Chain A
Amino acid sequence: MGARQQHWAGFFFIAFGALAIWAGRGLTVGTASDMGIGYAPRALAIGCVGVGVILLLQTLFSAPVDGEPRVSLAWRPLVLVTAMVLGFGVLLPRLGLPLTIALMIPLAALSGESFRWPTMAAIAAGMALLCTLLFSTALKLQIPIWPF
């Protein structure tokens, strides 16, 4: 864990802990020997904040390392992969399994990896067929197959 990462991690733990304290504000806390349902959440949330504070304090004492990359997010794959998964969830009940898969796989073209369209199309069709046969015909899962 680099110093920059640790900096962010410190803030993350504090934020998560604070969020948990806020979300659990209505729960009965009680005492250690007579725990309410809010006891464990409160203790863990405070623990999270504590971990965050320690991590931040540690960064104050550790010397900054030269050349450590900045903490950044790769937006393109992040958005693409999320969109593919969300797309599956949105389309499946409306279009059924094979069409959803056939539409979802070609989205991978946007990933920036090198590929060829005929192969991609063949994989999309093949996966649509394979998954339908495997999950619906063989394993008998209750998955919608057709849009009608």
Chain B
Amino acid sequence: MDLFSNLALGFGVALTLKNLFYCFIGALFGTLIGVLPGIGPLATIAMLLPITFHLEPTGALIMLAGIFYGAQYGGSTTAILVNLPGESSSVVTALDGYQMARQGRAGVALATAALASFFAGCVATIVIAVAAPALSRMALLFGPPEFTALMLMGLVAAVVLATGSIVASIGMVMIGMLLGLIGTDLTTGEQRFTFDVREIFDGIDFVVVAMGLFGVSEIISNLADRHTRELPATKITRLLPTKQDFLQAAPATIRGTLLGSILGVLPGGGALVSSFASYSLEKRLATDPSRFGKGAIEGVAGPEAANNAGAQASFIPMLALGIPPNAVMALMIAAMTIHGITPGPKFLTDQPTLFWGMIASMWIGNLILVVLNLPLVGLWVKLLKIPYAYLFPMILVFCCVGVYSINYRVFDVFLMAGFGVFGYCLRRIGCEPAPLVLGFILGPMLEEQFRRTLLLSDGDFLVFVTRPLSATLIGVTVLLLVMMALPTLRKGRESAFRE
């Protein structure tokens, strides 16, 4: 079969000593910067681009790809250990992963995340190899109405993330969207809510918001209730998942992988939507949804698998069409351009060794990552044994440096302090930050696509239902809404009858 000869060609390229080395370096470096909060793969790949002037293209791209998916692995580590999501997708992992850590199950959570990511990475690699050209066409079926519908679906799923009052989490999503609208409007170029502060003309960076709302405010509340806080260090019992953990996590992993492989292909936040779509799905399917937000292992396995599968799947439109579905892929294209290679529809036939070499290296990279990360779990967990008086200033330093390094300006550090205080106040009044963060990311995209849809249709709303794909997505969204509203209504009636 063609596929096997192609894969053989790919492994022939990826298994040369030099390329194995680049793959290892990429995975290692990716894990490192993924663990450091604030310094993401985007900044790292950008910094390394000039270095790749001097490397040969295959090795350079294998290394850059390794950094990208290595960072996805590493990103969940800080989210689980200290509630510090350095990337949008780890926001979801932090929800239950951090709770597991607080219960002394940090090792289990980290191992689950690594294993789920490994499984998802392997499957996604096969999906790319088999279906890249076919799936890439999916990215071209999506026009503004479809993106609008997808974002709506994501926002509805975002509401499910919270454990408390649904009304309050809808409010939090709206506040997040409002904060997301800060900056220069795309259509007119006018400023919104910027108050002539030039530093926020491009909007507030996601990392600033997430580190403030999660990391900094978590430290404030930990210090505030230190007398009631149970020290995780005293309770750590085991590092690896039990059989029961495994049985709970496995189906979630498979479903997450599936979601990620499909949604990851879509440009504009597909991979992200997949990670919390997976969380919402698991919460819906669970026999006891109330465990979610309190350390449910499915809440770690599913989104981690979805996130990693999505990250790998986002290579599909980049390699097969030359369309970057996210900013990191755009940089990968820049890296190829530096070497005179142009990804596009002809890439697969023009550069078979590069294409299949990269795909094979992804599988090898995932293997390297799991071998690298599982032994590290024990080390990471030991970090939690550091007394909090020493641990919290260290976390704060990493937050500050990370946020500063996004744009090299202290303004962002001040802004993070502001979001830390804001997040702490929100916690005190019982509002959770996760829906806010997702509204913050999806809100501006939703508005952009919605306005573009109506601009192109001359204000006709019917396009949303006359295009089959968008009609389907809107249908699913409405279904989700109904499913979400039903138990609440029922519960409302029950409690009304009881009184």
* B334, CB-defined interface residue at 8 Å: no
Minimum CB–CB distance from A101 to chain B (whole Å) comes to 6
Q: Are B177 and A6 in contact (CB under 8 A)?
A: no
What is the CA–CA distance of A81 and B195 in the complex, to the nearest angstrom?
Answer: 27
Residues on B with C-beta less than 8 A from A45 are 178
B424, A78: Cβ atoms closer than 8 Å? yes
The bracket for how many chain B residues form the interface is 35 or more
Known: A48-B178, A55-B167. A77 touches B430 (CB 8 A): no
Distance of A2 Cα from B221 Cα, bound (Å): 18
CA distance A77 to B175 in the complex (A): 25
Indicate the size class of the contact surface on chain A: 35 or more
- The one of A12, A51, A88 in contact with B170, judged by C-beta atoms closer than 8 angstroms, is A51
Name the A residues within 8 Å of B168 (CB-CB). Answer: 1, 6, 9, 13, 51, 55
Inter-subunit contact A9/B431 (CB<8 Å)? yes
Q: Is there contact, CB below 8 Å, between A41 and B417?
A: no
| Interface status of A60 (Cβ within 8 A of chain B) | no
Of the listed stretches B124-132, B145-153, B395-403, chain A binds B395-403
Contact A54-B223, Cβ < 8 Å, known A5-B430, A41-B193, A115-B387: no
Is the pair A84, B396 in contact by a Cβ cutoff of 8 Å? yes
The CA-CA distance from A108 to B223 in the complex, in Å, is 11
Judge whether A111 and B392 touch: CB under 8 Å: yes
Name the residue among B400, B408, B454 with the largest chain A CB count within 10 angstroms.
Answer: B400
Interface of A is mostly: helix
**How far is A127 from B285 in the complex, measured between Cα atoms in Å?**
45
- A residues in contact with B459, CB < 8 Å: 33-34
Selecting from B15-23, B74-82, B182-190, B262-270, the interface stretch reads B182-190
Q: How far is the CB of A13 from chain B (nearest CB, A)?
A: 5
Contact across chains for B39 and A113 when beta carbons are under 8 A apart: no
Q: Which of A76-131 contact B (CB under 8 A)?
A: 76-78, 80-82, 84-86, 88-90, 92-93, 97, 101, 104-105, 107-109, 111-115, 119-120, 123, 127, 131
Interface: B429 (CB within 8 A) = yes
| A114–B165 CB distance below 8 A | no
A85 pairs with B400, CB closer than 8 A = yes
Contacts of B408 in A (CB 8 A): 141-143
Question: What separation, in Å, do the CA atoms of A4 and B36 have in the docked complex?
Answer: 38
Which single residue of chain B is at the shortest CB-CB distance from A107?
A: B393
Of A9, A40, A120, the contact of B447 (CB 8 Å cutoff): A40
Contact assessment for B226 and A73 in the assembled complex, using a CB-CB cutoff below 8 Å: no
Task: Evaluate contact between B393 and A5: CB separation under 8 angstroms.
Answer: no
Which of A6, A44, A113, A120 has most B Cβ within 10 Å?
Answer: A44
Q: In the docked arrangement, what's the CA distance between A89 and B408, Å?
A: 11
| Given A37-B185, A48-B171, A143 contacting B178 (CB threshold 8 A) | no
Q: Say if the beta carbon of A139 comes within 8 Å of chain B.
A: yes
CB distance from B220 to the nearest CB of A (A): 5
Contacts A37-B188, A107-B393; A5 near B429 (Cβ below 8 A): yes
B55 to chain A, nearest CB (A): 17
Which residues from chain A sit less than 8 Å from chain B, CB to CB?
1-2, 5-6, 8-9, 12-13, 16, 20, 23-24, 27, 32-35, 37-38, 40-41, 44-45, 47-48, 51-52, 54-55, 58, 71-74, 76-78, 80-82, 84-86, 88-90, 92-93, 97, 101, 104-105, 107-109, 111-115, 119-120, 123, 127, 131, 134-135, 139-143
* CB<8 Å pairs between A and B, sample of 30: A1-B165, A6-B430, A8-B428, A9-B171, A12-B425, A12-B426, A16-B175, A20-B193, A23-B193, A34-B454, A37-B185, A37-B188, A44-B174, A44-B181, A51-B168, A55-B168, A71-B429, A72-B428, A77-B221, A78-B224, A82-B417, A84-B393, A86-B413, A89-B411, A92-B410, A108-B393, A127-B397, A131-B401, A139-B44, A141-B401
